[in-house]
Amino acid sequence: MATPKIIIIRGPICSGKTTTINLLKDKFDNASYIDFDAFKRAIDWTSPSPWRTELAFKSALSLAEELMKRGRNILADIHSSKRYQYQAYKELAEKYNYEFHSFLLYPPLHVCLCRNLNREIPDVKYKVTEKEIIDYWQETFKITGEDVFNTANIDIQDIIKFILSKVNNNFSAI
């Protein structure tokens, strides 16, 4: 039996994480998508706050652990400026003997800012500010050996193909 995997898609706001995950999740069976933003929206859709982010991440991590106990493959997206999120998923992968894969989507800042102008987030009553986008983009941390994609000049289908080729050895693709 193949070793179960967790695939983390990291990136700043408006880098294409949700789009990538939504295209990727349909390529696998026995996989669950942990949508961190859905947890945040469920907690409070009227305004962002540190407590909401903390509670949403604890909920997402708890779900990941329950899914790992059941041997599910996991797809998750996280912001590229939150090292604790990356580390927590990595530690869970080690605890449950999961293969851990992480990919960074990192377009130029002006692309993220431009994408935000036309971005609509379902069930959210506030707009992500330019300052938030700049801060998240500037605070992105790099990981040695992690594949990085400039989503401004790489077709999303090519990113999907690359990710599939990286994890395909033991991940049962449909």
User: What is the Cβ-side half-sphere exposure of residue 151, based on CA atoms within 13 angstroms?
Assistant: 27
Confidence of residue 38 (pLDDT cuts 50, 70, 90): confident
The overall pTM is greater than 0.85: yes
Tell me phi and psi for residue 173, to 5 degrees.
-80, 145
Class of domain 5-167: alpha beta
Tell me: the pLDDT tens digits for 42-76?
A: 887 777 788 988 999 999 999 999 999 999 999 99
Single-letter code of the amino acid located at 100: F
Mean pLDDT of 118-137: 78
Domain residue extents for the chain: 5-167
